[in-house]
Structure 1
Amino acid sequence: MAAKPSDRICVTGATSTIGSLLLPMLREKGLSTLALGRKPVSGGAGDSWRYLDLADTAAGLGGIAADALIHTAALWLLPDWLEKFSACGVRRLIAFSSTSRFTKRASASSYELDVVGKLIAAEDQVAAECERLGIAWTIFRPTLIYGGHGGDRNVADIARLIRRFGFFPLFGAGGGLRQPVNARDLAVACVQSLDRAETHNKAYNLSGGETLAYVDMVRRIFETLGRRPIFIRIPFTAFRLAVLLARLHPRFAHLTPDMALRMEADLVFEHGEASRDFGYAPGKFDLAYLTAMH
């Protein structure tokens, strides 16, 4: 069932992996878009861009008029801005959380536990604030995101490691199941659900269209790069040390030793409700974008 059309769309995190793919899709549908973020969009992806640092909660949104907001930045940055966006006319919200709120709740990493806590709290705050303000909300919780322009912190980082060292460190057998989801499929989900009343005031787990073991996911990356798969199985203590060293580089500051333990865990989620409500149909694990990475 179609809801009231949303013609003027604000997109936060416009240069993010999802946001950069979403803007051209919205324009193709003839929608007016305003990209909001700390860096300007490139290639004319949005009708206009405006600087906005979501961490600066004292900033305003003067002069902005919009029907809908698609928030692709960190979810915990959103609650403090909802009243301001409501005053701009926003009555529809799509925002991204993560299935990490479920899979990392038992993590030994204080960093990961902090992220989980912020995600759970933010989901509750967004739902409550939207109900108070009369905003129809939808929250998407993707599984392992990949794709876009090589900016993901999952598959692209594994590919960089393989290119640099020619092998991949593995803890255990790496048999835990994964459902990598392409950032493009997530951008499409935003467009599909934007004016669908069935999606109002709901949260959806969005997984990829193919389920494979962690070791097979990495093997596929090797093969796409034209490399012979080489795995070096190492004990947890050695993996922990390697992660601590890698974290010295800003690019890998998000890595934690618990990643090794999760190589053996099944992180699988159904997306049937999203398929039913708005036609979500993710593709298989497609690594064509890696060939364009340097």
Structure 2
Amino acid sequence: MDAENTPPSSAPSPSAQAPTGLASPVLVLGATSLIGGFMLARLNAQGITPISLSRRPPSDDVCWVDGDLADPNLADELPPVATVFSLSPIWLLPGALPALKARGMTRLVAFSSTSRFTKLESTEPSERAVARSLAESEAQVEAFCAEHGVAWTILRPTLIYVEGRDANVSRLAGLIRRFKVLPLSGRGEGLRQPVHADDLAGGAIAAAEAPAARDKAYDLVGGETLTYRVMAERIYAGLGRRQMILALPPWLFRLLLTLAKPFYPGATATMADRMAQDLTFDDAPARRDFGWAPRDFRPRF
């Protein structure tokens, strides 16, 4: 639904309060992302009809604005807003903040990533650039909100998954389906904390409602900390397949990744090194401030 075709009376006033305590209207940026569908469903279940900003409709029954965060005329496209959930890459957000504030934003919950920390010293220049961009964007969001009286919360998930849709867990599942055997670099002892997108949607809503979560950033992890190998074993179980995991010397695994790059453009040699690294974070502040309680890692495909 285009903004210009939205009846003026269809959007509640910025001062209206949704039953959950969220200030309305509620705007979701990046509604077609992994988290987006779960976010819209949870808001609707709580009696909230969010407005979605997207370049394509998230679904047939969603109120949405056809727009782009990079549009210099974004303020002209948007209806009034109060609470904003930003599910898009956070580096797209700083440039849109003036338009969002002009339309009434008073509360912002934005997703970043723990890649801000894990890729900061990567041997891959592109990964270091991502880490810098995440850190710089977070700082810009915090500075703008502090200057303009917007309560902000930044959420940094670890390894996000949605069965059959993500580029992490589901990519491994696809490799298992195709080749049956899953090679690992070494024994795959690096620790992981995969987190489901539905839990992230619920956590974002809880954070928006919690006074204790204002003007803070949180690392959000899944309900379990497990090794890369155990994570792979759980994926086999979720597929109903017999485990066929092949431990390779790291040098050989790196060579395989190099050879596979034409078929898997995202493959890099650093993936081999990362399988041995512990990529873990502490979610105790989120549990304390807004009741973060994610599920264990038991995917079902």
Shift of 1:238: 4.2
**How do 1:200-219 residues align onto structure 2 when only pairs under 5 Å count?**
200-219=214-233
Q: Tell me: CA distance 1:245–1:50, structure 2 relative to 1, closer, same or farther (3 Å).
A: farther
Residue identity in the other structure for 1:135: V
Aligned-partner Cα distance in 1 for 2:135–2:218: 14
Residue identity in the other structure for 2:283: H
Q: Structure 1: 5+ residue runs without aligned partners?
A: none
Aligned-partner Cα distance in 2 for 1:139–1:81: 16
Residues 147-184 of structure 1, C-alpha deviations (whole Å, 9 max, x = no match): 2x632111011001111111112111101111111111
Residues 181-217 of structure 1, C-alpha deviations (whole Å, 9 max, x = no match): 1111100001212121111110001111111110010
Q: Tell me: CA distance 1:247–1:96, structure 2 relative to 1, closer, same or farther (3 Å).
A: farther
Q: Tell me: CA distance 1:254–1:92, structure 2 relative to 1, closer, same or farther (3 Å).
A: farther
SS at match of 2:281: coil
Determine which of 157, 166, 188 is the counterpart of 1:174: 188
SS at match of 2:224: coil
Aligned-partner Cα distance in 2 for 1:129–1:180: 31
Which residue matches 1:101? 116
Q: Tell me: CA distance 1:178–1:30, structure 2 relative to 1, closer, same or farther (3 Å).
A: same
1:12 aligns with 2:29: yes
Shift of 1:10: 0.8
SS at match of 2:74: coil
Which residue matches 2:127? 112
Contact 1:83 1:133 in 2 (8 A): no
Which residue matches 1:139? 154
Q: Structure 2: 5+ residue runs without aligned partners?
A: 1-19
Which residue matches 1:150? 164
Which residue matches 1:193? 207
Which residue matches 2:96? 81
Higher RCO (CA 8 Å, separation ≥ 6 residues): 1
Q: Tell me: CA distance 1:244–1:61, structure 2 relative to 1, closer, same or farther (3 Å).
A: farther
Aligned-partner Cα distance in 1 for 2:277–2:218: 21
Aligned-partner Cα distance in 2 for 1:239–1:153: 20
SS at match of 1:285: coil
Contact 1:75 1:97 in 2 (8 A): yes
Contact 2:68 2:74 in 1 (8 A): no
Aligned-partner Cα distance in 2 for 1:76–1:208: 24
Shift of 1:228: 1.7
SS at match of 2:47: coil
Aligned-partner Cα distance in 2 for 1:246–1:274: 39
1:239 aligns with 2:253: yes
Residue identity in the other structure for 1:145: I
Which residue matches 2:242? 228
Which residue matches 1:257? 269
Shift of 1:43: 4.8
Aligned-partner Cα distance in 1 for 2:66–2:34: 18
Shift of 1:122: 0.5
1:41 aligns with 2:58: yes
Residue identity in the other structure for 2:134: L
Shift of 1:283: 1.0
Contact 1:97 1:123 in 2 (8 A): yes
1:90 aligns with 2:102: no
Contact 1:193 1:199 in 2 (8 A): yes
Determine which of 138, 141, 144 is the counterpart of 1:129: 144
**How do 1:274-289 residues align onto structure 2 when only pairs under 5 Å count?**
274-288=286-300
1:161 aligns with 2:175: yes
Contact 1:66 1:90 in 2 (8 A): yes
Shift of 1:133: 1.6
Residues 39-79 of structure 1, C-alpha deviations (whole Å, 9 max, x = no match): 211152x3x1112222x342423241111110011000000
Shift of 1:232: 2.6
Shift of 1:29: 1.3
Aligned-partner Cα distance in 1 for 2:64–2:279: 37
Which residue matches 2:14? none
